[in-house]
Structure 1
Amino acid sequence: MKQSYDYVIVGGGSAGSALANRLSADESTSVLVLEAGRSDFVFDPLIHMPAALMFPAGNPLYDWAYETEPEPFMNGRRVAHARGKVLGGSSSINGMIFQRGNPGDYDKWATFDGMQDWDYAHCLPYFKRMESCMAGADTWRGGSGPLKMERGPASSPLFQAFFEATEQAGYPRTDDVNGYRQEGFAPFDRNVFHGSRMSASRSYLWPVRGRPNLDIATLATVTGLRWQGDRVTGVDFVRAGRRRHTVQAGEVILCGGAFNSPQLLQLAGVGDPETLRSAGVTPRVELPGVGENLQDHLEVYLQHSCVQPVSIAPWLKKWKAPYIGAEWLFNRGVGTSNHFEGGGFIRTNDEVAYPNLMFHFLPIAVRYDGSAPEGGHGYQVHVGPMNSDVRGHVRIKDADPRHKPAIRFNYLSTERDRQEWVEVIRAARHILAQPAFATFDGGELSPGPSVQTDEEIIDWVAQDAETALHPSCSAKMGTDDQAVVDPASMRVQGTEGLRVVDASVFPTITNGNIFAPVMMVAEKAADLIAGNTPLAPEHAPVYRAGAGMPIHPQGDPRNQAWDAKTAVPSAEQAITGVTR
């Protein structure tokens, strides 16, 4: 490790891995990655085996194990938030579900001050640049990027019943939720290739580790920033909890995620002066938006028992683990799948412009930590609102960088959010009650038949819901008085030599899992930071709800197929079965 670098990247997670790859491609540029977790060793099956995804969460070797402050609208519960404690960050321990979000998410970003170059047309070429979509490249999908992804087969009897049930419930199929049309149901892309997890580290760092201008230091916890006036000139960090180091930097790029990036900014005196003083930190740069605007996806599991032996429940038996591992080594068997092989997106009411509810179907009744209800075979859907209007915060408690910040999301705190939850549960139950499941359904396990009224649904959500692990938006891009990051450069407002690139810079959360949007932001930010000419916008046609017709070019033969495939009743009719 040298004493000085052009770029010091704080955090070797999803965004940090992508930035390290792209910035170090210039041989004249020196790059250092500081990752507080350990290395993602090639022989660690709990990282690289897709089916092992339930084991790292809660394990102190893999998970920083954050939790919220008592959530006031969830009976004072503290909600656990797993965050990756390893190179690759949370992309090394997440569910490997690859979803870009809806094109409308990015068009909404572009409505914020200064964000006009972050609409879907400007983001699409960066999505495509990062992808190698094994299902095939086209107008919407990339085929030569570093991140390889396979599409789940979703072909088991329970998946077949699920897709048939969604059509019986009045919802369309789509051929790719990341392509022309997100709304509908389909097999999902997953960042899995040849049976192994394709984390950001494996995709972006492993191929370039030998570059002489790139250094990667693990077990390196940054404790503070070095300043000269308003310019950041380096970082202080502790290696392996003992040795203290300082390194100089032309630029420092924070990639710690929605919790750590605002925490480090606040520890450095960047944030709301009142918050900083109450924590014993002298304010340096007044930015009241640091740590505010925090957003997430909350989800519940609707679980049913299954009367036929077609779920994957038998594979949870501990004595089968060696057999699963042995098969996985040869890219075979249940270990090669993340099991979230399909799902979809719908609108629960006709007031929303694009889907506000995401489904993940799983051919087993199990919680994310691997605990399962009694009764053996089962199936479930993971559901939750995608565009909640609740907002939370991340705030340091004191000036000690070893202490975790106070995190509060304020789940269920708005009337709109609570109403959407009622719609969500009713929509999910409507699908699971369709005839396609009749030969499998042994009854609802969770929440169970005792939960029926609006009030009972909200009470159950408050008691049982978990985070979908998508914290974001706590150091948002923009130019308003709550913005933290300049969207044209990724610089922290009011500073020099300091940038943020991770999920914290989202102005609003995207409609789906956030790994893909984080990687897109990092790809685009790499060009902004390096001074490269940004990729030209691509104005690909996309489905717009309520437009009446698909917007393929006139005469495109797909129009006729889409007309037949996507003609559906209103959202209210689909959920209630009422046709007016």
Structure 2
Amino acid sequence: MPSAGSGPQNGVADPILASSYNQSEVDYIANLVKNAEKNGHTYQVHENTYEYKPTNISNIEDFGTFDFIVVGGGSGGSVIASRLTEIRNWTVLLIEAGGFGNDETDIPFLSTAIKFSRYNWGFFSTPQRTCCQGMIDQKCSIAQGRGIGGTSLIDDLVYSRGSSIDFDKWAKYVKDERWSYKQVLPYFKKSEKYTHRDRRSPVVNSMHGKKGLLSVSNFLPESPQLQAWLRANKELGYRIADYNAGTGLGSSPAQLCTKDGRRFDDGKAFIRPFINRHNLNVSINSYVTKILIDPMTKTAEGVIFSTLDKKQYRALASKEVILCAGAMNSPLLLMLSGIGPKNHLRSLRIPVIENLEVGSYLKDHPAFEGLIFDSNYTEPVKPVTEYVEEYLRGVGPYTIAASNQGVGFYESSRTKGTGYPDIEILMVPANATNPFSQRKSSFTEQTYADLWEGSNQIQAYRMVVIHLHAQSTGTLRLKSADPYDYPLIDLNLLSDWWWQRDIGTLYEGVQIALNLASTEALRGIGSQLRSGPLKACQNHEYLSKRYWYCALRQLTTNIHRPVSTCPMGPNTRRGDVVDAVGKVHGLKKLRVADASVFPFSLAGHPNAAVVLVAEVISDFIKMEYNGIK
């Protein structure tokens, strides 16, 4: 049977302490880095989940009955399972397709390499017409984490809640004040354990939690390029501020989900400390293929799942099935189980249980990856063992994911004067051309050459421009009725052709980035645009508006923040899939609690908000069944 709920058999190892180390530990980490980078270059990304397909499809073994079954051990599932098992007489089965994180995933520096491993589902979009034109086959890569902790195992670690305005809009949209910023702020603080390591980094202490389970801190030391970028923001009149304290406007060094320089994924925060709870059962390497639903009463009764050892199981839930499989897999599972757009399901001969617009309103943050700058600052190149020694002390480049050091949130012309961020810029200092850059973004050889050929890796830096509230909407659909096929994902970024608001907002962001690069602060380190001209845009005058619009179509991709595939709200005619407490409309005993329920994209990275959603819905469940808060 799949492993269920005892520490060692679930692969949970004690981490090496950052406060002390010896040469064997240095050698061990150095070897991990070497092997992860080597494997990352050769790993073949999966195109389906056939590895879980049982040898005998008709043989289903009984796995037992639990009060709650949580499908997916990502950020939402880890929180839900942890909080529900605080009620000692409730039993919870947490089913996760991957395993636990390990010493490799702990190293932030390896975040890009780890995306080429079993920890990433490795989805790709369908061929795109309005974005990703400079990518192989015009497909955008879509990284989504697989394992206890989900995408928090492989993401770039930035802790960003979104804007206070987002949550007031959320409450109004779903017609429930419990989602307003005033009501959700205590939940953000409840889950957070913030350590202010970098005294240069602005922070409003009263807005942060100090006793939560999720460690948040700063990296050390700041790069001179980052310091120049922050001065550039100040020079142009932008706030240097704690972007997690209110509306979200401002620039600062990134706040990261790390502890002593190590990744602190949500599985480490919410599951590992409680793995031996008598009422928590964890089944890893287990892939759910169907929700068992009584078609007459429309009541969820349990799930079917299969495992890597080619067996198949049935588990039943006496209270609820809670989907936390993420913005891609939760809608996939609902549709496979008969909940979704009726015409789509009927075309695949899937019996329709409830006609809902599952997967019809996919949102993501369009991100432009085409701004590379040279500088005259040379990042010191050290032997790997020195980097490892710094890492074991909790400092240095190995404690930063994808070199993301600076985060800035800005108004666009559409939100000017409101305090509502519409543009994000990530500052990525030296070594911007790491060996995985091409593979991570799926650039063609020509695109990669246009962007990076001739640049100095130890002097270059990037600014990634992101649109936070895009109008364009994508879809997620089933490829077939086979639960082991990946879904068809059409991101459809920058597709609002008539108004061109999305591409126009990204263009504004590019101009902000270029203005920053032209300040005395960044000119002081020799800042100069390096990227381009793109061969695909050679018919346009270099750096003209038409050139940038062409470049934006070539080099805009998603930044792995999909949401809204099962949007929350009271109106199914509008396309809402779940109500304000996460219950699927028209169904009993079935709930969703992950990024798929966001009613719209937020002005920030989704992980903190997914943790919030799970915290809030956990309390809704406790109130409903026990009257406990």
TM-score band w.r.t. shorter chain = 0.7 to 0.9
Which residue, 393, 404, 414 being the options, matches 2:475?
Answer: 393
For residues 283-303 of structure 1, give each alpha carbon's deviation from its aligned partner in whole angstroms, at most 9, with x where no partner exists.
11111x211111001212321
2:144 partner SS: coil
Contact 1:236 1:247 in 2 (8 A): yes
Distance 1:24 1:367, change over 3 A: farther
1:281 corresponds to which letter in structure 2?
I
Displacement of 1:154 after TM fit?
6.4
Change beyond 3 A, Cα 1:25–1:367: farther
TM-score for both structures, normalised by structure 2: 0.79
Alpha-carbon distance in 2 for matches of 1:152, 1:332: 7
Quote how far apart the aligned CAs of 1:468 are.
1.3
Pairwise CA distance, 1:445: 1.7
Rounded Cα–Cα distance in structure 2 between residues aligned with 1:115 and 1:306: 50
1:68 has 2:125 as partner: yes
Matching residue of 1:226: 292
| Contact kept in structure 1, 2:74 and 2:146, CA below 8 Å | no
Structure 1 equivalent of residue 523 of structure 2: 438
Shift in Å at residue 455 of structure 1? 2.2
* Corresponding residue for residue 405 of structure 1: 487
Amino acid aligned to 1:438: R
Q: CA deviation at 1:534?
A: 8.4
* SS of structure 2 residue aligned to 1:3: strand
Question: Which of 68, 72, 83 matches 1:7?
Answer: 68
Post-superposition Cα deviations, 1:102-124, rounded to whole Å, max 9, x if no partner, equal 10111111221433321111111
Match of 1:306 in 2: 375
1:24 aligns to what? 85
Task: Decide whether aligned partners of structure 1 residues 509 and 181 sit closer, same or farther in structure 2, where only a CA change above 3 A counts.
Answer: closer
Using structure 1 for the length normalisation, give the TM-score. 0.86
- Does the 8 A contact of 2:517 with 2:528 survive in 1? no
In the alignment, residue 345 of structure 1 is paired with which amino acid?
F
Aligned to 2:49: none
2:106 is matched with: 48
Task: Return the alpha-carbon distance in structure 2 between the equivalents of residues 216 and 80 of structure 1.
Answer: 30
1:456 equivalent among 542, 547, 557? 547
Q: Classify the secondary structure of the residue corresponding to 1:388.
A: coil
SS at match of 1:446: coil
* 1:384 is aligned to 2:459: no
| Identity rate, percent | 29
Q: What are the Cα deviations for residues 324-352 of structure 1, in whole angstroms up to 9, with x where unaligned?
A: 33542343433223332322111131644
Conserved 8 A contact 1:196-1:336: yes
Equivalence map 1:562-577=2 (5 Å): none
CA 34–439 in structure 1, closer or farther in 2 if over 3 Å, else same = same
Partner of 1:173: 240
Q: Which residue of 1 aligns with 2:12?
A: none
Equivalences for residues 83-122 of structure 1 within 5 A? 83-122=144-183
1:449-528 alignment to 2 at 5 Å? 451-480=542-571, 481=573, 482-487=575-580, 489-528=581-620
Q: Secondary structure at the match of 2:427?
A: strand
Cα offsets for 1:524-575 (capped at 9, x unmatched):
010012226687xxxxxxxxxxxxxxxxxxxxxxxxxxxxxxxxxxxxxxxx
Letter in 2 for 1:88: G
Q: Report the Cα offset of residue 442 of structure 1.
A: 5.2
Does structure 1 conserve the Cα–Cα contact (< 8 Å) formed by 2:354 and 2:586? Answer: yes
CA apart distance, 1:39? 2.3
- Please give the alpha-carbon distance, in whole angstroms, between the structure 2 residues aligned to 1:65 and 1:113: 32
**For 1:248, which of 307, 316, 320 is the aligned residue?**
316
- Counterpart residue type for residue 112 of structure 1: Y
Q: CA separation in 1, counterparts of 2:204 and 2:614?
A: 21
Aligned mates of 1:331, 1:160 — CA distance in 2: 20
Question: Structure 1 residues 500 and 308 mapped into 2: Cα distance closer, same or farther (>3 Å)?
Answer: same
Contact 1:154/1:160 (<8 A) preserved: no
Change (3 A) 1:265 1:226: same
Q: Which position in structure 1 is the counterpart of 2:507?
A: 422
Report the equivalent of 2:211: 144
Distance in 2, Cα, partners of 1:142 & 1:159: 26
Amino acid at match of 1:344: G
Q: Note the C-alpha offset of 1:443.
A: 2.4
SS of residue in 2 equivalent to 1:476: coil
Shift, 1:454, TM fit:
2.2
Rounded to whole Å, the distance in 2 between the matches of 1:154 and 1:22 is 35
Counterpart code for 1:234: G
What's the CA shift string for 1:177-216, capped at 9, x where partnerless? Answer: 1014521211221001111111000000110001011011
Q: What are structure 1's unaligned runs of at least 5 residues?
A: 536-580
Q: Higher mean Cα deviation, 498-507 or 47-56?
A: 47-56
Q: Secondary structure at the match of 1:528?
A: helix
The AA in structure 1 aligned to 2:603 is N
Shift of 1:281: 1.1
* Unaligned runs of at least 5 residues, structure 2: 5-62, 197-202, 439-451, 535-540
Q: Which moved more, 1:137-146 or 1:31-40?
A: 137-146
Name which of 237, 260, 264 aligns with 2:333.
264
Aligned residue type for 2:543: Q
In the alignment, is the contact (CA less than 8 A) between 1:234 and 1:252 conserved in 2? yes
Structure 2 counterpart of 1:342: 406
Are residue 214 (structure 1) and residue 280 (structure 2) matched? yes
Distance of 2:609 and 2:305 partners within structure 1: 29
Give 1:199's match in structure 2, choosing from 258, 262, 265.
265
* 1:97 positional shift: 0.2
- Judge conservation of contact 1:73–1:413 (CA < 8 Å) in 2: yes
Distance in 1 (alpha carbons) for counterparts of 2:475 and 2:245 = 33
What's the C-alpha RMSD, in Å, of the aligned pairs? 2.0
Deviations 1:377-421 (A, max 9, x none): 111111111111111111112111110111112111111112112
**Following the alignment from structure 1 to structure 2, what is the Cα–Cα distance between the partners of residues 40 and 3?**
27
How many residue pairs get matched?
522
Q: CA deviation at 1:131?
A: 0.6
- Counterpart position of 2:21: none
Report the Cα offset of residue 62 of structure 1: 1.9
CA 34–456 in structure 1, closer or farther in 2 if over 3 Å, else same? same
Q: Distance in 1 between matches of 2:173 and 2:502?
A: 22
> For residue 232 of structure 2, what is the amino acid of its counterpart?
A
Q: Is the 1:490–1:529 contact (alpha carbons within 8 Å) kept by the matching residues of 2?
A: no
Give 1:235's aligned amino acid. V
Conservation of the 8 A alpha-carbon contact between 1:13 and 1:90? yes
Q: Greater helix percent: which structure?
A: 2
Decide whether aligned partners of structure 1 residues 442 and 167 sit closer, same or farther in structure 2, where only a CA change above 3 A counts: closer
Shift of 1:453: 2.2
CA contact (8 A) 1:165 1:434 kept: yes
Q: Secondary structure at the match of 1:64?
A: coil
Shift of 1:84: 1.1
Provide the C-alpha distance between the structure 2 equivalents of 1:476 and 1:534, rounded to a whole number of angstroms: 27
User: Match of 1:28, SS?
Assistant: coil
8 Å CA contact retained: 1:177, 1:188: no
